[in-house]
A and B are shown apart, each in its own frame.
Chain A
Amino acid sequence: MHGGKGLKKTGAEILFESLKLEGVDTIFGFPGGAVLSIYDTLLKYSEEIRHILVRHEQGAVHAADGYARSSGKVGVCLVTSGPGATNAVTGIATAYMDSVPLVVFTGQVPTMLIGNDAFQEADIVGITRPCTKHNYLVKDVKDLAAIVKQAFHLARTGRPGPILVDLPKDVMADSTEFSYPAKAKMRSYNPTYQGHPGQIRRAVKLVAQAQKPLIYAGGGVILSNASKELASLAQKFSIPVTTTLMGLGGFPGTNPLFLGMLGMHGTFQANMAITHCDVLIAVGARFDDRVTGKVETFSPRSQKIHIDIDPTSISKNVLVDIPIVGDVKNVLKAMLKFFEEEPAQDWLQARADWLKQIGEWMKTSPLTYKSGPCIKPQFVVKKINEITREITGGNFIITTEVGQNQMWTAQFFTFTQPRTLITSGGLGTMGYGFPAAIGAQVAFPDKTIIDIAGDGSFQMNIQELATAVQYKLPVKVAVLNNHCLGMVRQWQQLFCAQRYSQTLFEVAPDFVKLAEAYGAVGLRATKPEEVEPVIREALAIRQPVVMDFVVDRDECVYPMVPAGAALTEMLLV
């Protein structure tokens, strides 16, 4: 127990005292009527808790999300009731789909007005029930400390996720003795961290006998900080690795065993390998439809091992042979241990044919694009990759928006470290990357943070330029400006006989002038030879910079597996 007995504190004070005890030093938020007293109390805690004032509540949640994904800590937001809370919903759903630990505090009208259609009232607990791991309405100030404790416990344990805590105005003004529980007491919540040893042994035996094993790693590897264990397993036993979008960085992109991302825009070799492997080891991944393509033809020849902390992910989309519920890091450690007990083998020799086959696939159709007189977006991504690596020595984080910019980043950027790619994978939220970059920059003031964006996505949360400028966060935005909604345009080109319905922007802002209007720096490249100087100049400036790369409008992301098709039915360049 913490805090002195007998001394009464208001709900707002209890909130900040609890946050301090949870180790929170930064919150992202936007004030309003229902949270007036909380913001007033915040002034007393300004030494200990830094508040980042965003320009839209969605930005607050994405920024807290970027902060959480980059640092591994819990991201915290504070927004007002009604529209403040509903604006936060997209951010919450984004975090929920990608298992990001967040605690979102929303203001609420006073308890006696709840249900009366009061001004700025919304049933946010009802609205967010399906897109939070759990949520709370605090009805009595006496419950507040225990609920905050539970919220942080739930957010960061098991499969992480966002927790919403709704704070009625009167409850926050009410006062009680503050005592923070040492433990979150919950009789019904008990995640499984250790995998079942019998299942792990079976899995190891299966992998040891495999001729053509393949690891398919997802975001769970990064969430569980298991990159080292994954690399050991792959390296020691010569097992090739493909990752999902969320898994990029979880295995070194420079390792010869790495096949690149799989799925709809995955590499030729990854999609071929997963179709032909005989044992598939799914690690912290959930067989999403963008990964599997047509489920009936997904990895048809393999026996499947699935390691995941969330039992609901197992056999949801694809039936598996050996399910292992547990924390990825613990299970991989156990697998490594049990492997040592297997009869020693020359694993490289044992996999020689399989690795040779994969090597041939790698040569068949490597990622590529055709150069032309105008700037190719893939070229910009490759250049950012080269130059950032050279200048920062690896001390960088890339965020993306959603669409072509995201897929080209996944394909043409080499991620070697976990938590260096931050992207909205599950929900696919346009407008995510820029506020997420702000959050990552708050967590890591000295890292180079670059949002690889499209002109469509960037405009969805462009107002956060003011936030970046206000807090002197030198975030870089690389806009792959094709004057259209590129990914939807691509689908219309391929599947709607080039009927471009509402995807071509007739009006677009001048991003350079817009950046300047906000007090940031704007740079533009219109020819291929201008790309490198613009990137170098941007990286040398300790201010927010928007780089406007005017790129080829008609460029498409390849390979592409049409939605619902088998992974081998790839459209290639």
Chain B
Amino acid sequence: MRHVISVLVDNEPGVLSRISGLFSGRGFNIESLNVAETLDPSISRMTLVTRGNVQIVEQIIKQLNKLVNVIKVLELTGSDYVEREMALIKVTAETTSRAEVLRIVDIFRGKVVDVSPKSFTLEITGDEKKIQAVIDLLVPIGIMEIVRTGKVAITRVRKEGANASGMREKDLQKS
């Protein structure tokens, strides 16, 4: 089963290597990995997508927690969260297909970010299914190149007004 794990880590050189080394060394797989600084520049957030049964994912979370540079680990799968991925897609756009490409972009609320006489570069944002749907429609027209960011995810705030999850950077800064 697919699991999305959000990890807050010290923003230091070598931390990414500690995490990726943990996954390769213990035979866990990474489907996608995204890292960027948080509001607090001393902390980075990693969003990891991995696959495995409950026991494996439990080990992954424990092993991540064991790393000295890992501040907090949260499994998002099973909780209420929003997930997004962006893809930049360079697609062939000949006279016959230009209109069709633009229609697809429009349907999926994408953007054209670069135009040439024979191609469009599209920006598409959404969850995995949406990105896949766009790709499936564009493949027959001709995709020249594709770049994807990997998933980023964030918990939804509970509507009753309770705290989302304790993953807030605001809280961490205090400790």
Residues of A participating in the B interface, judged by any CB pair closer than 8 Å = 125-126, 129-130, 133-134, 137, 154, 186-189, 310-312, 314-316, 319
Contacts and interface: CB of A to CB of B under 8 A. Distances in A.
Nearest to A310: B66
B117 interface: no
Among B21, B55, B68, chain A packs the most CB atoms within 10 A around the CB of B68
A187 B175 contact: yes
16 contacts: A125-B14, A126-B14, A126-B17, A133-B68, A154-B68, A187-B71, A187-B175, A188-B71, A311-B62, A311-B66, A312-B59, A312-B63, A314-B62, A315-B55, A315-B58, A316-B59
B21 A129 contact: yes
A137 to B, nearest CB: 8
Contacts of A188: 10, 68-72
Contacts of A312: 59, 62-63, 66
Contacts of B71: 187-188
Q: Place the interface of chain B in its size category.
A: 20 to 34
Contacts of B68: 133-134, 154, 186, 188-189
**Secondary structure of the B contact surface, majority rule:** helix
B133 to A, nearest CB: 39
Given A129-B17, A130-B25, 20 more contacts: A126-B14, A126-B17, A129-B21, A134-B68, A137-B14, A154-B68, A187-B71, A187-B172, A188-B69, A188-B71, A188-B72, A189-B68, A310-B66, A311-B66, A312-B59, A315-B55, A315-B58, A315-B59, A316-B59, A319-B55
B155 interface: no
A136 B91 CA distance: 46
Interface string B132-162: 0000000000000000000000000000000
A130 B62 contact: no
A134 B67 CA distance: 8
Nearest to A130: B25
Contacts of B59: 312, 315-316
Which one of A137, A311, A312, A319 has the greatest number of beta carbons of chain B within 10 Å?
Answer: A312
Interface in B19-42: 21-22, 25
Given A154-B68, A311-B66, A312-B63, A129 B18 contact: yes
B113 to A, nearest CB: 36
B128 to A, nearest CB: 29
Nearest to B70: A188
A185 to B, nearest CB: 11
B8 to A, nearest CB: 9
B65 A311 contact: yes
Nearest to B22: A130
B10 A130 contact: no
Nearest to B71: A188
B27 to A, nearest CB: 13
A347 to B, nearest CB: 35
Q: Which of B55, B58, B66, B71 has the most chain A CB atoms inside 10 A of its CB? A: B66
A225 B14 CA distance: 35
A126 B58 CA distance: 26
A389 to B, nearest CB: 40
Interface string B89-115: 000000000000000000000000000
Contacts of A310: 66
A447 B175 CA distance: 47
Interface in B46-83: 55, 58-59, 62-63, 65-66, 68-72
A341 B55 CA distance: 35
B87 to A, nearest CB: 32
List of 6 A-B pairs having minimum Cβ-Cβ separation, nearest first: A134-B68, A188-B71, A312-B62, A311-B62, A130-B25, A189-B68
A129 B172 CA distance: 26
Nearest to B14: A125
Contact of A130 (B21, B70, B72): B21
Chain B CB within 10 Å, residue with most, of A126, A133, A189: A189
Contacts of A129: 14, 17-18, 21
Nearest to B72: A188
Contacts of A133: 68
Contacts of B22: 130
Contacts of A311: 62, 65-66
B60 to A, nearest CB: 10
A311 B60 CA distance: 11
B156 to A, nearest CB: 26
A125 B72 CA distance: 23
Nearest to B69: A188
Nearest to A191: B66
Contacts of A316: 59
A375 to B, nearest CB: 43
A312 B61 CA distance: 9
B11 to A, nearest CB: 12
Contacts of B69: 134, 188
A129 B14 CA distance: 9
Nearest to A133: B68
A189 B62 CA distance: 13
Contacts of A137: 14
A316 B70 CA distance: 20
A403 to B, nearest CB: 26
Contacts of B66: 310-312
B171 to A, nearest CB: 12
A134 B10 CA distance: 13
A485 B83 CA distance: 57
Contacts of A187: 71, 172, 175
Nearest to A319: B55
Contacts of B63: 312
A129 B65 CA distance: 16
A316 B14 CA distance: 26
Nearest to A139: B13
Nearest to B25: A130
A314 B172 CA distance: 27
A244 B22 CA distance: 27
Nearest to A163: B68
A347 B55 CA distance: 36
A307 to B, nearest CB: 16
Contacts of A154: 68
A187 B173 CA distance: 10
